[in-house]
Amino acid sequence: MVNGRDVDMRTSLCGIELDKPVMAASGTFGYGLEFAELYDINVLGTFSFKGTTPEPRFGNPTPRIADCTEGMLNSVGLQNPGVDKVLEEELPELAKVFHKPVMANVCGGSPEDYALVAEKLSQCDQIGWLEVNISCPNVRSGGMAFGTDPKAAAEVIGAVRKVTTKPVIAKLSPNVTDITEIAKACEAAGADGITAINTLLGMRIDLKSRKPVLAREMGGFSGPAVFPVALRAVYQITRAVDLPVVGCGGVRTAEDVLEMMMAGAKAVQVGSQNLVDPFACRDIIEALPAAMEKYGIKNLREDI
């Protein structure tokens, strides 16, 4: 056994050092400010802030959240103040409480939208990585997500690649037949890394009204129930492409983090668990040395 106090939790993501492998996933941590009121968020490796679009978005009509067994459904609709307000207001406030590079989640309805947001965010020194959310609906193709088609995914990644020198990480949708084909297309288009996975598509029906619970009928299913799906995707992707992978989906314990890294992930995002327990990331990080000790892991970069 190793001594939990002596373990090395450092990892590297696209050439940027992380002192911890745990980060909060986009859409579950806002811009960090609310969580910073509860604990020192610098204990995180980093976090991915809310999905950002060219213009402000109010989001989808309510109800847009629903409970499920071992998870939740959401159809928030990328509610955000728009890229200019993020740069002018949110990030300067974040800089007061978070002193590490932060991950920006880039969204849009066309390749041009993504490129616009990415180019603007790239001017900010606080931002270390651009996480490109290709699960957004392609407005030119009737709403089908960019990430369900290799050519569309490559077009978005290529557009972002042209406007930035920062690491570009493609966040992939699991709602496909073969996720490795999307990953390969992103790699060929210039992606520096992959986040896997975004939410699964799901729905619930209210028995009394006999109608879908969500106003938009379907939404993204996340939570502990999706962990095996996410783990499988990470395992497949790391063996299909030569890119670092960030594992995401259903993570709620330090043991889940280690399992994701054993599947091949270089870092791990905690998503919906932040909405269940706002201290989730902090507690997972605090429990990680003991979990490493239990399984004889002294160095995350060498022993997994």
Who's near 244: CB < 8 A, 6+ residues apart? Answer: 12, 13, 14, 192, 193, 194, 266, 267
Give the pLDDT of residue 4: 52
For residues 195-204, average pLDDT: 96
Of the chain, the percentage scoring pLDDT greater than 70 comes to 96
What is each CA distance from 81 to 30, 97, 114, 122, 179, in whole angstroms? 11, 20, 16, 18, 31
Q: What is the CA radius of gyration of the chain?
A: 18
The reported pLDDT for the residue numbered 5 is 65
Check residue 44 and give its pLDDT.
98
| pLDDT per position as a tens digit, 125-167 | 999 999 999 987 665 665 568 999 999 999 999 999 999 999 9
Longest Cα–Cα distance of the chain, Å, equals 57
Asked if residue 115 has pLDDT above 80, the reply is yes
This prediction's pTM: 0.95
- CATH assignment, 4-58+76-203+220-294: 3.20.20.70
CA distances from 264 to 15, 45, 132, 180, 239 (A): 17, 18, 20, 14, 8
- The pLDDT, as a whole number, for residue 3 is 47
Question: What digits encode the pLDDT tens for the residues 45-98?
Answer: 999 999 999 999 998 899 999 999 899 999 998 899 999 999 999 999 999 999
pLDDT in tens, 252-304: 999 999 999 999 999 999 999 999 999 999 999 999 999 999 999 999 999 99
C-alpha 272/C-alpha 269 separation (Å) is 10
Domain ranges of the chain: 4-58+76-203+220-294
Confidence (pLDDT) at 77: 87
Q: Predicted confidence band at 1 (pLDDT cuts at 50, 70, 90)? A: very low
CA distances from 38 to 42, 48, 91, 285 (A): 12, 18, 19, 15
- State how beta strands 267-270 and 22-24 pair: parallel
DSSP characters over 160-191: HHTT--S-EEEEEPS-SS-HHHHHHHHHHHT-
> What is the C-alpha separation between 263 and 158, in angstroms, rounded?
28
- Are 216 and 61 in contact, with CB atoms under 8 Å apart? yes
Q: Which residues are catalytic?
A: 136
Place of tokens 């947001």: 117
**Average model confidence (pLDDT) across the chain:** 95
- CA dihedral (155, 159, 164, 167) in degrees, to 10, reads -10
**Which tokens in the block code for residue 164?**
């930035």
